[in-house]
Structure 1
Amino acid sequence: MFATFLIGLREGLEAALVVGILVAYLRRIGRADVLPRMWAGIGCAVALALGIGAVLTFGSYALTSQAQEILGGVFSLLAVGMVTWMIFWMQKAGRTMKASLQGGIDRALESGTLWALVAVGFVSVAREGIETTLLLWSMSQTFGQDPTVLIGAAAGLAVAIVVGWMLARGALRLNLGTFFTWTGGFLVVVAAGVLAYAMMDLQEAGVLPGPFSAMAPIDATTGAVLTGWAGFPFGWAFDVSTVIAPTGFWAVLLQAVVGFVPHMSWLQVTAWALYILIVGGLFLRGIRRSRLPSPADAAKAAPQPSSIPSSSPGAA
């Protein structure tokens, strides 16, 4: 619940801020009469996200187990891609998001068509909705469709709506930059775990080589797939099931937060580690860059030369 709560809170707050900016701007320019069109687009975006979730959940029941694993792996990879893109998009465009949204409304109003405003509301919210749906669906598959996954997400979305409303009303102050920085770092780790889950799904389906394929290294005596360095690269990286029970509290907590399971293949571990090193490194570099003053800010902070000429040594 904790992991999906934070996901629902972050993604829901992003959507709430977008909606708040759109609605506040329309009211400020005296065009509250077109708000129903905006809400229609937002409603379509929510319906699309729910529809995708329903199709993924109920449509997979009609597939074979191998097809379900392939579907789960492919859509988990898609979720990782969308989350990664969103993390860096928010890091780069967060400061100009308000101006971009307002510019979109201005262009829609100039066109004077109903569908232009519907499209602004739809596109602005659909991105967060689809990303959240794919990520939560992947996590629900990881945990065997445990209902607490959806309960945590629903609680996070509910809190996000309340927080967004309080921010819009001025009843709450929140450092959004700090909030999105911390939750962005958390999403990097969550996405790495979803990527590791996708690798396992595709290995079980036979799409990728691993412990379930003919390429797995086998112990000549026991016939079991080798574990540890002897099992590299297509065997098991480790198996600590005797130390950490797969269904115990610590296993579930680690799986939800960092994507760790007591029995992981080398491909899973490699994909997880590379994602953390590459994406996490780029994310941290983006944070450092954002804290550096821009050239314009540096120019403003630099001392200005005096306009009064200094006296020469021989002047009276």
Structure 2
Amino acid sequence: MFSNYLIGLREGLEASLVVCILVAYLVKTGRRDALRPIWTGIGIAIALALGFGCVLEYGSQELTFQAQEALGGSLSIVAVGLVTWMVFWMRRTARHLRTELHGKLDAALVMGTGALVATAFLAVGREGLETALFVWASVHAAGDGTPRPLIGVALGLATAVLLGWLFYRGALKINLSKFFTWTGGMLVVVAAGVLAYGVHDLQEADILPGLTSLAFDISGTIPPDSWYGTLLKGVFNFQPDPTVLQATAWLVYLVPTAALFLAPVGFTSGMGKARTPDDDQAPRASEAPQA
């Protein structure tokens, strides 16, 4: 449940910050008339993400067992690729996000209503589709048949919306660079577990070999149905009896990815602009409308 809460919080906060920046900029520049197209684009993006999640969940139920495992394994690997790209992208661009969105919004204001809808849709829609896919892959990997993973996601999204609103009102400031670094690091660990389960699904589908070759089996020490076994599985997608191929995929992904992610980041941007403390903060209170 915690891993899914983390996914909802991380992805939801990215989307909330995008919405916060777009809305605050329009209010600050006196363009409240452009808020309706922005909210329309955001609503379409949310509907698309929910629809995509439903297609993944209910569409896969009509498939045979092998087809379900093949689909689950393939999409798990795709989800790991997307979330890995996302955490590295956000770590690199978080401090420039406000400037980038302002530039896109200025261009959209010149082009008209359709461009505003498209700008909001594209800004939020990518986060929504990534969230739907990674949540589905994570829930599929957990496979406990309970609503707890979805409850975790919902709580994470609710927390993200609350934080986004507090940022917008200027009531809360955190170092977003550090926040995304810590949560990104934890998501890399979660992604490694999702990748291992994806490999197992492909083995179940007879696409990859080695289903019966176990790397180790510590089920006697950490029973899967124990509270701590359930906790480890829910948080890290831990499996006490992985195959050799699963364990190899987990290590080959986690070690270099974590090393690259935790490597020091330069103090200047690619254009040579000096980094300032305000770059790591949420939209400032001065950008929010006065009560």
TM-score (norm 2): 0.90
Distance 1:57 1:29, change over 3 A: same
Alignment partner, residue 117 of structure 1 = 116
User: What is the deviation of 1:293?
Assistant: 9.5
The 2-side partners of 1:281 and 1:261 are apart by 23
Unaligned runs of 5+ in 2: 276-291
Contact 2:142 2:237 in 1 (8 A): no
Distance 1:176 1:266, change over 3 A: same
The 2-side partners of 1:167 and 1:101 are apart by 16
Moved over 3 A (4+): 290-298
Alignment partner, residue 175 of structure 2 = 175
Q: Deviations over 1:94-132 (max 9, x none)?
A: 1111111111111111112x2211110001011111111
User: What is the deviation of 1:291?
Assistant: 5.2
Amino acid at match of 1:245: P
Alignment partner, residue 218 of structure 2 = 240
Contact 1:140 1:146 in 2 (8 A): no
- Indicate the percent of aligned positions where both proteins have the same amino acid: 53
Distance 1:297 1:45, change over 3 A: closer
User: What is the deviation of 1:296?
Assistant: 5.8
Task: Report the secondary structure of 1:206's partner residue.
Answer: coil
The 1-side partners of 2:46 and 2:269 are apart by 38
Amino acid at match of 2:34: V
User: What is the deviation of 1:90?
Assistant: 0.5
Q: Deviations over 1:245-272 (max 9, x none)?
A: 1122222222233332111001111111
Alignment partner, residue 255 of structure 1 = 233
The 2-side partners of 1:167 and 1:50 are apart by 25
TM alignment of 1:1-316, pairs within 5 A: 1-112=1-112, 114-144=113-143, 145-211=145-211, 225=212, 235-285=213-263, 288-290=264-266, 297=274
Contact 2:60 2:68 in 1 (8 A): yes
Greater RCO structure (CA 8 Å; 6+ sep): 2
Distance 1:34 1:297, change over 3 A: closer
Task: Report the secondary structure of 1:150's partner residue.
Answer: helix
Q: Deviations over 1:19-67 (max 9, x none)?
A: 0000011111111101111111111110111001101111111100000
Q: Deviations over 1:4-32 (max 9, x none)?
A: 11211111111100000000111111111
Contact 1:190 1:256 in 2 (8 A): no
Amino acid at match of 2:224: P
The 1-side partners of 2:267 and 2:243 are apart by 39
Task: Report the secondary structure of 2:242's partner residue.
Answer: strand
Q: Deviations over 1:257-301 (max 9, x none)?
A: 33321110011111111111111111011xx12458996659xxx
Contact 2:267 2:274 in 1 (8 A): no
The 1-side partners of 2:50 and 2:240 are apart by 33
The 2-side partners of 1:72 and 1:146 are apart by 18
Task: Report the secondary structure of 1:244's partner residue.
Answer: coil
Distance 1:281 1:292, change over 3 A: farther
Choose 1 or 2 for highest CA Rg. Answer: 1
Amino acid at match of 2:130: E
